[in-house]
Amino acid sequence: MITFDNVSKTYAGQTRPALRDVSLDIDKGEFVFLVGSSGSGKSTFLRLILREYKPTKGSIYVAGHDLGRLPAWRIPRLRRQVGTVFQDFRLLPGKTVYENVAFALQVIGKSSREIRTIVPETLDLVGLGDKSERLTDELSGGEQQRVALARAFVNRPPILIADEPTGNLDPTTSVGIMKLLDRINKTGTTVIMATHDSTIVDQMRKRVIELSDGELVRDQSKGVYGY
């Protein structure tokens, strides 16, 4: 589903690469934790998958797209196949839960009839079926992250990227979000999650990829946080 082939990325004006010669394959349906200290290259790795940047060296393949050959007009299609969730939720302010999730479908041209069916189904999946008319600004952090997850998953992308999705949440709320991510993964969605949360990584025992100074230093199945 995702292949990195000798990928390096050096940002403009920098001498040290943020990613250095990284090669790996992530198969369809895998759940992968991306760990490493601050500045080790985790966000850079995720942003390359989204084609926010091109690598300085090497090739990247995502859901059948060769990102080095992807013309700019095809980037939106790539991004539709990769749902994203971030630490800071990034919801539309002043909009309801329903509107936040429906918007993701409106921008890809779904009919209002489809939207009226799919949005409530997805809100039920994340446990927010009874809060669809609430403004997202009035929800707890955990609920806001559920909305963000619903929005990322509403068009059933084959890949979901989560960049520290529990970073702003307390441990109990985080467990709820992880259960949801696990559930989404069990539908066949490939999940890649960057995190500093050792408890979660140690509990879930999924594949762990560790970066250190931009290099891939560990790739462990049923791994632990351990650095």
Ligand X SMILES: Nc1ncnc2c1ncn2[C@@H]1O[C@H](COP(=O)(O)OP(=O)(O)OP(=O)(O)O)[C@@H](O)[C@H]1O
Identify the residue among 3, 8, 43, 59 touching ligand X (CB under 6 A). Answer: 43
Q: How many CB atoms lie within 10 A of CB 12?
A: 6
d(CA 2, CA 56): 18
CB of 87 to ligand X, least distance (A): 9
14 lies in the binding site for ligand X (CB under 6 A): yes
Torsion of CA 110, 111, 113, 118, to 10 degrees: 0
# residues near ligand X by CB under 6 A: 11
C-alpha neighbours within 13 Å on the C-beta side of residue 211: 29
Q: Tokens at residue 22, please?
A: 């990284």
The answer to whether 110 contacts ligand X (rule: CB under 6 A) is no
Least Å from the CB of residue 200 to ligand X: 15
Residue 18 is a binding residue for ligand X (CB under 6 A): yes
Least spacing, CB of residue 17 vs ligand X, in Å: 8
Return the number of other C-beta atoms located less than 10 Å from residue 127's C-beta: 15
Closest to ligand X by CB, 8 or 96:
8
| Contact stretch for ligand X (CB under 6 A) within 11-19, 88-96, 141-149, 197-205 | 11-19
Q: Which of 26, 44, 83, 207 binds ligand X (CB under 6 A)?
A: 44
Check residue 38 for interaction with ligand X (CB under 6 A).
yes
Q: Does 198 bind ligand X (CB under 6 A)?
A: no
Residue 40 binds ligand X (CB under 6 A) = yes
* Cβ-based neighbours of 210, under 8 Å, separated by 6 or more: 34, 35, 36, 40, 216, 217, 218, 219, 220, 227
Task: Tell me the C-alpha distance between 117 and 46, whole Å.
Answer: 31
| Contacts with ligand X, residue ranges (CB under 6 A) | 11, 14, 18, 36, 38-44
